[in-house]
């Protein structure tokens, strides 16, 4: 099938699961940065539903920016950044001692 794709002449733009080259990756990256900003703001405000919605939208944007083949790699990197956001915001709000205690007080007796 790969050789067949090279033999068929193609006129116009083709969508292969990635955003087209006319500034689309830059737009997708800017949208991911905006979603990351919403994650930081919602983590500071304590709005868990907005934080969750930003993560879900980021996965959808990632599938359009990097394609379906690389979405898991990019998604894992984005989730590590999101976890870092939670740790940094929690440390900034409650101090470095918050890292030593459990986040959910219902877990400890």
Q: Reply yes or no on whether the pLDDT at 107 is more than 50.
A: no
pLDDT value for 3:
55
Average pLDDT, the chain: 76
pLDDT value for 20:
45
Q: Reply yes or no on whether the pLDDT at 17 is more than 80.
A: no
Convert the pLDDT of each residue in 70-105 to its tens digit.
888 888 999 999 999 888 888 888 887 777 775 555
Residue 67 near residue 20 (C-beta atoms within 8 A): no
Residue spans per domain, the chain: 17-94
* CA distances from residue 18 to 21, 29, 63, 97 in whole angstroms, order as listed: 9, 13, 8, 44
C-alpha to C-alpha distance for 70 and 5, rounded to whole angstroms: 21
Q: Reply yes or no on whether the pLDDT at 24 is more than 50.
A: yes
Which pair of tokens denotes residue 40? 């930081």
- Which one, of 23, 50, 24, 49, lies nearest residue 37 by Cα? 50
Which pair of tokens denotes residue 56? 């879900």
Convert the pLDDT of each residue in 52-71 to its tens digit.
998 999 888 888 888 888 88
């Amino acid at each position: 099938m790969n050789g067949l794709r090279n033999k068929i002449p193609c006129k116009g733009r083709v969508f292969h699961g990635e955003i087209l080259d006319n500034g689309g990756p830059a737009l997708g990256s800017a949208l991911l940065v905006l979603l990351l900003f919403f994650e930081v703001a919602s983590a500071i405000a304590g709005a868990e539903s907005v934080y969750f919605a930003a993560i879900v939208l980021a996965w959808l944007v990632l599938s359009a920016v990097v394609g379906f083949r690389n979405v898991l790699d990019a998604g894992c990197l984005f989730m590590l950044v999101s976890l870092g956001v939670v740790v940094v915001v929690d440390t900034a709000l409650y101090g470095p001692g918050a890292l030593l205690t459990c986040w959910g007080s219902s877990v400890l007796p």
